[in-house]
Structure 1
């Protein structure tokens, strides 16, 4: 799984709020053409996703060397799905993860429930030795804003760069536990806007990514509507849309 981070400028002018129900389930059509002007991409354009549950030790020299060999600039931690059920103080999954994941089609393995090798101190050492920067994927599903702010403060105090932040993972999937947290994309946009304001007060230079999706024609209506509805909601709240994360299952 590779996360591609896209820098976008929001086209808010002239948009109206159609509401979740009236949003079209048809995918948007974008016409593109090649330009004669070329420019290099930032080395931070894309990152490597890290499933922290698979990292036995961030201080393992063989692991560190393997990371250096692929030469990433950014590491997405603690990862994708696991980030929605992550206890940063434990360095692993929340205690009630089975209950929290009710309705999700995939469950973590039993040994994953005991995992605790990715505390911030562990991550800091691995990040330093691999000469990378972290993208912190915050837990909007089973944690709180204050807890996640405390996590970012602790990371900063450990010397970690708090420059890139992502607000959750794949909430556009049409699964019951995600819909309990965010019934619609508009609900996600409301929460995201509140978190952005709070984060920016303490980390004004941070670049904050929102959960976006590039739906396929056969995807759920929730996925088809997601991008349009939450973009419009952010425009209404006058939150400029600059940084979206799209997860490509390649």
Structure 2
């Protein structure tokens, strides 16, 4: 985390929340202002105004249009008794702003194998409530075999068979944007979902076609297909990216048959070749965008999330170094993917919940270092696929996956990522080895169609209870408790507390440089006793699902817990659970 320095004259541009608090007291001294025990220290306390750090280069234009956020007191809340304070203390300093919070970090991936779900009211309402803000489409690896303007037939120069990494051939299995069958999802319905959920699009164009296409110039042919999509889009989409995980040997176009290729491409892709092709695509797409008046189009380039030498069997070596050198300044942002946990291992909760901090930080440092070595300017970094790879115990659909999601969101903000999209809205049950945030129709035993998994509830309450700026936060007394602090323009303070252990812990929240009001409000989320330790259920303030998995259908109307700030802010953070808390400002 880089250190921020208070600039000359910064007091003049302190947040409105602080100015309003000062006006109420007549000066910057407040009685019980919050330098210890949540604002119960007594006496007169001088409040240090917050700093106002610049937007990081890793965030850039993704924070254009950033809006301040006001906290609204819950319509319904109930007064609860405070637990006895223990030794664990989370200290949140409202004067030390790390960054503004990008609304584009709460995104998700939709895909063409969910069905024509725009006509599914239960799912659409939940998706609107979740407010992902970003919805990526069409994939995933199928982006590289996706023809946006086709119905059921690929172009004549797209071969019926494609090669895998060993050179064996199999049916291409292309997907089409105009296929209206009920098992797939049309491009036009994607645009409808964006409109109905007030979301922004992120479109991944087919780069693989530039490799396996058999026309005289497959790169220009594939770039034209992408540019034609930009024209059809007609200004509706700002964010685009070229290809998906093309550094991997699992991706269409990784290996081609040189005998069928007519522009001299090698059998196996390289980072340098992708970088050259990227510029051809980007130039064609930007020209098309200008033709339809979409002058703000931004195009992302595929990069690896860690040193390729760490995975020599499946990753193209020197991908970042070579692709960045040949693409030069052409990319507007850089794209990474990460599934955090060891691949296809039956990982424990301790392993899963131990990954977010280190993996998120290391990934950002890798991209930064790659750009520095290439002599290129830092630009925004987007994590547009993330989840866990753990299998065998229904980890992906569990409460633990929800806690992991909270930690990833907190670390993404702390490390100043520009945008993120979790994978994915719906997938396939596969005995619980399912990345889907929702069940795919009714394929999950004991669950209704489009049932929301635990991660949905954790992500919903995170966005509701996290402010517009992240501030510094640290925990003493336990390595298993993590805190993510925030401030609201309305003068309120927020903190998200995570418990990675298997024991409940009482946590005292100490808000520094905060003009404390009267009450604090919070929601407690935790799993059940089923399928221990990977409960398929989540309880919100003690209220759980009606069925065998997910959470309460009444999540929007459940009363918040509340207590007086006077005497200290103290809450119980349940085992492998989370507390989302906001304290009123004056």
In the TM superposition, 1:7-156 aligns within 5 A as 7=59, 38-45=98-105, 47-90=107-150, 94=154, 99-100=161-162, 102-103=164-165, 116=181, 117-142=184-209, 144-156=222-234
Deviation (angstroms), 1:244: 0.5
Deviation (angstroms), 1:146: 1.4
Q: Is the 1:100–1:142 contact (alpha carbons within 8 Å) kept by the matching residues of 2?
A: no
Between the aligned partners of 2:125 and 2:239, the Cα distance in structure 1 is 24
Alignment of 1:247 with 2:337, yes or no, is: yes
Between the aligned partners of 1:72 and 1:177, the Cα distance in structure 2 is 29
Alignment of 1:220 with 2:312, yes or no, is: yes
Deviation (angstroms), 1:223: 4.1
How many residue pairs align between the two structures?
211
Query: Comparing both chains, which one has the higher relative contact order based on Cα–Cα distances under 8 Å and sequence gaps of 6 or more?
Result: 1
> Taking structure 1 as reference, are residues 139 and 176 closer, same or farther at Cα in structure 2, changes over 3 Å only?
closer
Query: Moved runs in structure 1, 4+ residues, more than 6 A?
Result: 95-98, 112-115
In terms of fraction of residues, the more helix-rich structure is: 1
Unpaired segments ≥5 residues, structure 2 = 1-57, 61-95, 211-221, 257-267, 290-294, 340-386, 388-586
Describe the SS at the equivalent of 1:162: coil
**Alignment correspondent of 2:238:** 163
Unpaired segments ≥5 residues, structure 1 = 1-5, 9-35
Query: What are the superposed Cα offsets for residues 13-51 of structure 1, whole Å, 9 maximum, x if unpaired?
Result: xxxxxxxxxxxxxxxxxxxxxxx6511132124631222
Between the aligned partners of 1:71 and 1:226, the Cα distance in structure 2 is 34
Query: What are the superposed Cα offsets for residues 55-113 of structure 1, whole Å, 9 maximum, x if unpaired?
Result: 333232222123223220111101111111112123679587862364489x99x8x89
Deviation (angstroms), 1:218: 3.4
Deviation (angstroms), 1:185: 0.3
> Taking structure 1 as reference, are residues 37 and 240 closer, same or farther at Cα in structure 2, changes over 3 Å only?
farther
> Taking structure 1 as reference, are residues 208 and 176 closer, same or farther at Cα in structure 2, changes over 3 Å only?
closer
Describe the SS at the equivalent of 1:215: coil
In terms of fraction of residues, the more strand-rich structure is: 2
Q: TM-score, normalized by length of structure 1?
A: 0.70
Between the aligned partners of 1:44 and 1:91, the Cα distance in structure 2 is 32
Between the aligned partners of 2:317 and 2:332, the Cα distance in structure 1 is 20
Alignment of 1:210 with 2:210, yes or no, is: no
> Taking structure 1 as reference, are residues 241 and 103 closer, same or farther at Cα in structure 2, changes over 3 Å only?
closer
Q: Is the 2:111–2:185 contact (alpha carbons within 8 Å) kept by the matching residues of 1?
A: no
Q: Is the 1:212–1:227 contact (alpha carbons within 8 Å) kept by the matching residues of 2?
A: yes
Deviation (angstroms), 1:175: 4.4
Based on CA coordinates, which of the two structures has the bigger radius of gyration? 2
Between the aligned partners of 2:123 and 2:154, the Cα distance in structure 1 is 25
Between the aligned partners of 2:151 and 2:338, the Cα distance in structure 1 is 26
**Alignment correspondent of 1:232:** 325
Deviation (angstroms), 1:126: 1.3
Between the aligned partners of 1:50 and 1:93, the Cα distance in structure 2 is 23
> Taking structure 1 as reference, are residues 142 and 208 closer, same or farther at Cα in structure 2, changes over 3 Å only?
same
Q: Is the 1:81–1:170 contact (alpha carbons within 8 Å) kept by the matching residues of 2?
A: yes
> Taking structure 1 as reference, are residues 166 and 241 closer, same or farther at Cα in structure 2, changes over 3 Å only?
closer
Between the aligned partners of 1:70 and 1:97, the Cα distance in structure 2 is 40
Query: What are the superposed Cα offsets for residues 125-181 of structure 1, whole Å, 9 maximum, x if unpaired?
Result: 11111111110100011261212222221122xxx6220001010000034843336
